[in-house]
């Protein structure tokens, strides 16, 4: 059943809205550790979708699209962090190797 008037909002429970806000909130944690800021952004996104939509379908699509964008950004951040960790491991191995070579060189001179 497709409701296209403002009545569609009556079919949406407060629990539904909280669930979507929580999904946004969890996704935002990747970018920033300040919970209150993340909650404010998440709530703002959900409220905008709720107030701008003309139907529950439009509301759901808006929420879904925002979540897809957020997931893409989270995945990109994860990829960058993995690359940074790999680079850090390589540097640590190089430093270990250099330290061992220096120690071996000093010991061979004695």
Confidence of residue 20 (pLDDT cuts 50, 70, 90): very high
| pLDDT tens-digit map of 66-82 | 999 999 988 898 888 88
- The burial class, CB within 10 Å (0-12 / 13-18 / 19+), for 49 is buried
| Structural domain spans, the chain | 6-77
The pLDDT tens digits for 1-18 are: 554 556 899 989 999 999
pLDDT band at 96 (very low <50, low <70, confident <90, very high): confident
pLDDT over 80 (residue 108): no
User: What is the pTM assigned to this prediction?
Assistant: 0.64
- Of 49 and 93, the one with more pLDDT: 49
The token duo for 55 is 């139907």
Does residue 30 sit in helix, strand or coil? Answer: coil
Q: What is the mean pLDDT of the chain?
A: 86
* Three-class secondary structure of residue 34 per DSSP: coil
Q: Which CATH class is domain 6-77?
A: mainly alpha
CA-CA distance, 65 to 43, in Å (whole number)? Answer: 16
């Amino acid at each position: 059943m497709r409701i296209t008037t403002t009545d569609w909002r009556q079919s949406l429970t407060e629990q539904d809205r909280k669930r979507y806000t929580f999904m946004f909130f969890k996704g935002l944690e990747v970018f920033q550790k300040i919970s209150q800021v993340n909650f404010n952004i998440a709530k703002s996104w959900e409220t905008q979708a709720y107030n701008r939509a003309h139907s529950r379908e439009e509301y759901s699509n808006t929420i879904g699209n925002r979540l897809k964008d957020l997931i893409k950004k989270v995945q990109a951040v994860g990829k960058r962090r993995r690359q940074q960790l790999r680079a850090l491991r390589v540097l640590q191995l190089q430093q270990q190797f250099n330290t061992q070579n220096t120690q071996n060189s000093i010991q061979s001179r004695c």
